[in-house]
Structure 1
Amino acid sequence: MQKFIPNLWFAANAEEAGQYYAGVFPNTSAFVESRYPTEGLLDFQEPLAGAPLTVTLDLNGTTLTLINAGNDFTPNPSISFIVSFDPANYSGDADATRAALDQTWDQLIDGGSVLMGLYTYAFSARYGWVQDRYGISWQLMQSDAGQSESFIVPSLMFGGAAQNLAVPAVDFYVELFENAQVGSRFPYPEPTEVTVPGAVMFSDFKLNGQNFAAMDSAVAQPFSFSPGISIEVQCEDQAEIDRLWEALSAVPEAEQCGWLQDKFGVSWQVVPKNMGDLMARPGAFEKMLNMKKLVIEDF
Structure 2
Amino acid sequence: MSHPIMTCLWFDKQAKEAFTFYQAVFTDIQLISENPFTVNYTLAGKRFMHLNGGPEFKINPSISFFYNAENEAEIDRIWARLIEGGKVMMPLNTYPWSSKYGWVADRFGVNWQLMLDHVSGDKVYPSMMFTGDNNGKAAEAIAYYTSIFPDSKTVQLSPYGEGGADVATHLNYAQFQLQNQAFGAMDSSHMHEFAFNEGVSHVVVVDTQEEIDFFWDHLTAGGQPGKCGWLKDKYNVSWQIVPSCLGKFMSNPATAPKATYAFLQMSKFIIADLEKACEN
- Which residue is equivalent to 1:271? 242
Cα drift, residue 179 of structure 1 = 0.9
Cα drift, residue 221 of structure 1 = 1.5
Partner Cα distance (1:278, 1:241) in 2:
18
Partner Cα distance (1:263, 1:197) in 2:
24
**Is 1:15 matched up with 2:29?**
no
**Is 1:287 matched up with 2:262?**
yes
* Residue identity opposite 2:106 in structure 1: D
Partner Cα distance (1:68, 1:32) in 2:
14
**What secondary structure is seen at the aligned counterpart in 1 of 2:37?**
strand
Output one character per residue of 1:17-37: Cα deviation in whole Å (capped at 9) or x when no partner.
11110110122133543x3xx
Output one character per residue of 1:205-248: Cα deviation in whole Å (capped at 9) or x when no partner.
00010011111125222211000000000113110110111111
**Is 1:56 matched up with 2:40?**
yes
Q: Which runs of 5+ in 2 are unaligned?
A: 275-280
> What pairs up with 1:17-166 in 2 under 5 angstroms?
17-30=18-31, 32-33=33-34, 35=35, 52-86=36-70, 97-143=71-117, 147-166=119-138
- Which residue is equivalent to 1:91? none
- Which residue is equivalent to 1:211? 182
Q: Is the 8 A contact 2:263 2:269 kept in 1?
A: yes
**Is 1:181 matched up with 2:122?**
no
- Which residue is equivalent to 1:262? 233
Q: Is the 8 A contact 1:19 1:29 kept in 2?
A: no
Partner Cα distance (1:133, 1:165) in 2:
30
* Residue identity opposite 1:174 in structure 2: T
- Which residue is equivalent to 2:140? 168
- Which residue is equivalent to 2:278? none
Cα drift, residue 191 of structure 1 = 6.5
Q: Is the 8 A contact 1:115 1:130 kept in 2?
A: yes
How many residue pairs get aligned? The number is: 268
Partner Cα distance (1:120, 1:57) in 2:
32
Q: Calculate the TM-score normalised by the size of structure 2.
A: 0.91
CA RMSD of aligned residues (A): 1.7
Q: Calculate the TM-score normalised by the size of structure 1.
A: 0.85
- Which residue is equivalent to 1:46? none
Change (3 A) 1:132 1:288: same
Partner Cα distance (1:236, 1:164) in 2:
35
* Residue identity opposite 1:12 in structure 2: K
Partner Cα distance (2:168, 2:213) in 1:
36
Q: Is the 8 A contact 2:127 2:184 kept in 1?
A: yes
Q: Which moved more, 1:272-281 or 1:240-249?
A: 272-281
Change (3 A) 1:182 1:133: same
- Which residue is equivalent to 1:238? 209
Partner Cα distance (2:228, 2:45) in 1:
28
